[in-house]
Amino acid sequence: MKSGRRNALKLFAAAAGAATLTPFLARNVLATRETEKSPAVPWPYKKLDLERVAERAYGGYYQGACCYGAFEGIVGQLREDVGYPYTLMPSEIMVFGEGGVAGISSLCGALIGASSAIFLAAGGLEGKKRGEAFGLIRELFTWYEQEALPNYRPKNPKFEIKTSVANSPLCHASVTRWCKATGFKSFSRERAERCGWLAAAVAKHAAELLNSRLDGAFKPAHVLSSEVQTCRSCHDKGGTLENSRGLMDCGGCHFSSAKVKHP
């Protein structure tokens, strides 16, 4: 009887000690996490399987929309293939980019998500790294403007989707041109599916650019049109007017310079 009582008291004491120790350990774990610093970018990069990236982005679109989908397609794959420090970066932070940022239809969310992923893997505060990442991002944007998109078809699509040329990196212009080309409404299920395909296509191309950078083979394949260069010669840095700035298609929002009389 006494032996049984002693054992019970020991178990009780152990349980009480564990209950006291658990909050202590938890506080120390939290303190460690709070003081742990994520490494400066660029983070380690491993060549990605483009099809896996695209399919992950397409599925991500239906979870958190375009910006989340494109980012998750790349960074989610790097979490699996590389691990830390990508495990520190939640893809949920990119939900804000839905529909051109909170539905405002400014910059295409897929471009925001993919560009963010590019900068994690290739960017940095230092000028050379920053410039290298900017080069990849600019190529992604010009490709987006000039190519007939989306050019990736998911394995299990909900609809068959036709392509269009955006002539702009803006969600508003991109969606409007696609709607005019296909006849579908901007809030239709078909348009939503089109943006799912587009998130996949953008993520895939961004991963392709990162892969080529890793191989030391990246070269810009798309250049600004002669029309845009004409606009920039007067309106951009060093021009006679210098009252604007931009590395995007001017006619996507404004006018065709061919119809404007210049002095």
Domain ranges of the chain: 50-214, 226-259
Quick check: pTM over 0.95? no
User: pLDDT tens across 148-202, in order?
Assistant: 999 999 999 999 999 999 999 999 999 999 999 999 999 999 999 999 999 999 9
Q: What is the 3-state secondary structure (H, E, C) of the chain?
A: CHHHHHHHHHHHHHHHHHHHHHHHHHHHHHHHHHHCCCCCCCCCCCCCCHHHHHHHHHHHHHHHHHHHHHHHHHHHHHHHHCCCCHHHCCHHHHHHHCCCCCCCCCECHHHHHHHHHHHHHHCCCCHHHHHHHHHHHHHHHHHHHHCCECCCCCCCCCCCCCCECCCCCEHHHHHHHHHHHHCCCCCCHHHHHHHHHHHHHHHHHHHHHHHHHHCCCCCCCCCCCHHHHHHHHHHCCCCCCCCCCCCCCHHHCCCCHHHCCCC
User: pLDDT tens across 20-75, in order?
Assistant: 445 544 444 444 454 467 899 999 999 999 999 999 999 999 999 999 999 999 99
